[in-house]
Amino acid sequence: MSPQLPLVLKNYCAGQAACICARSNSNANRRVTVRELAHYASTTTDSRLPMNPRPPTSNSIQATPPNTGKVIPLVDYRQRRLPMAATPAPALPSQGLLDRFERPLRDLRISLTDRCNFRCTYCMPREKFGRDHAFLPPTAHLSFDEITRLARQFVALGVKKLRLTGGEPLLRKSLPQLIEQLARLRTIDGERLDIALTTNGSLLARQASDLKSAGLQRITVSLDALDEAVFARINDVGFKAAAVLRGIEAAQQVGLAPIKINMVVQRGINESQILPMAQHFRGTGMALRFIEYMDVGNNPAWRLAQVLPSSEILATLQAAYHLHPVTLQRPGETAMRWRYADGQGEIGLISSVSHAFCGDCNRARISADGQLFTCLFAHQGHDLRALLRSGCSDDLIQGSIAQLWTQRQDRYSEQRAAQATRTDPAHQRVEMHVMGG
């Protein structure tokens, strides 16, 4: 980054594991705060800031007000489904379908259920998602045929990668049947689709073989700790890390590859597990990815202070291992990758809070009840299920998706500091377990 940048921004970059300045800037004496960065962003037209020049926003940029910790009543996203206008499909431009910031549509995440057998405190805290919570009834779910039909439209618009998620996707009955259907689809270039699945691993030991036979290629397993007490406190159902490890082993044995492991790191909760997790997965061929704790959904417990920035995670790792940055990144890749110098594999850092990556975000999401979301931090979805069930042709469904994508301007992570406080019911977000992580 150029030396003319203001000191605070230079220091911001220097504090980021992901930024090339981190290795060259000797003046990295402190990290810039979100408030400083937001102030700089609001007063500059510096095109080196991600996504500048920015479209006008009605909010003046200010730091997120302190969270009061008050329990926020749930506003049911299902009542805020936005209708989608049936529109004839456009001819696909040679550069692919691009949104307002020239980001292509490449990655579709499909949530198969809003249910989960865990109650991870950062995702589905049991005070909010207790026994009386109204999950989607089975009739609200898209059927496998509906999911496949929708996936086909997305693929025709340029999608190359499908990720099945949830909630906990392995709770969905007969899942291998859906995977078989999806595995028959081909990209616009006639290639096989890249099909992946994210799971908490609790049901993996018994399902891995069927998933692989059905055509699943690779898998991501979430595991936040090896220490049983820490893990049980996080999943809040007393599930054992050892059982997740058995699921991972089963996935390895049937040849699901590559396997990635996701660890959400929360300051004061599981940072003690960074090194044990790194040590466990080093040399196994599995990439461990450390994810910054995000303010997705409406979790009233989220605090910026609980986010352990990737720079600190990296510093912890570097104190124990020699790591080199992997410079060749694929566009749209969420993790910044680092390789162990002794050839024992690599780790990833997903820095969605400290180092937003909206600039090349190419992901769309569909909830289990058929709502389309163009950002993980959306307040409302677009009703694809209504279109499907109204007898619309494939062409019209494709056209509606294309129209929505070409109007897309989402870049929440880059605007985090400017967003209205989450205690405002009009700004209640859709939960991550609903739209699919």
Binding site for ligand SAM (CB under 6 A): 116, 122-123, 165-166, 168, 198-200, 222, 262, 264, 291, 293-294, 296, 432-433, 437
- Site membership for ligand SF4, residue 107 (CB under 6 A): no
Judged by CB under 6 A, the residue of 10, 78, 355, 411 near ligand SF4 is: 411
410 binds, among ligand SF4, ligand SAM, none (CB under 5 to 8 A by kind): ligand SF4
Q: Which is nearer to ligand SAM, 429 or 433 (CB)?
A: 433
Please give the Cα distance from 355 to 369 (Å, whole number).
32
- Site membership for ligand SF4, residue 326 (CB under 6 A): no
- Site membership for ligand SF4, residue 372 (CB under 6 A): no
358 binds, among ligand SF4, ligand SAM, none (CB under 5 to 8 A by kind): ligand SF4
Q: Classify the C-alpha dihedral 42-44-48-53 as positive or negative.
A: positive
- Site membership for ligand SF4, residue 51 (CB under 6 A): no
* Closest approach of ligand SF4 to the CB of residue 190, in Å: 28
124 binds, among ligand SF4, ligand SAM, none (CB under 5 to 8 A by kind): ligand SF4
- Site membership for ligand SF4, residue 124 (CB under 6 A): yes
170 binds, among ligand SF4, ligand SAM, none (CB under 5 to 8 A by kind): none
296 binds, among ligand SAM, ligand SF4, none (CB under 5 to 8 A by kind): ligand SAM
Residues 6+ apart with CB under 8 A from 91: none
Rounded to 10°, the helix 204-214/175-183 angle is 30
* Closest approach of ligand SF4 to the CB of residue 34, in Å: 15
Please give the Cα distance from 28 to 20 (Å, whole number).
12
Judged by CB under 6 A, the residue of 263, 361, 396, 404 near ligand SF4 is: 361
Q: Give me the 139-178 binding string for ligand SF4, x by CB under 6 A, dash otherwise.
A: ---------------------------xxx----------
Q: Which is nearer to ligand SF4, 51 or 386 (CB)?
A: 51
Q: Which is nearer to ligand SF4, 281 or 377 (CB)?
A: 377
262 binds, among ligand SAM, ligand SF4, none (CB under 5 to 8 A by kind): ligand SAM
First to last CA, the chain: 32
293 binds, among ligand SF4, ligand SAM, none (CB under 5 to 8 A by kind): ligand SAM
CB of 320 within 8 A of CB of 356?
A: no
Judged by CB under 6 A, the residue of 211, 295, 412, 435 near ligand SF4 is: 412
Which residues of this protein are in contact with ligand SF4, per CB under 6 A?
A: 116, 118-120, 123-124, 166-168, 200, 222, 357-358, 361, 363, 375-377, 410-413, 433
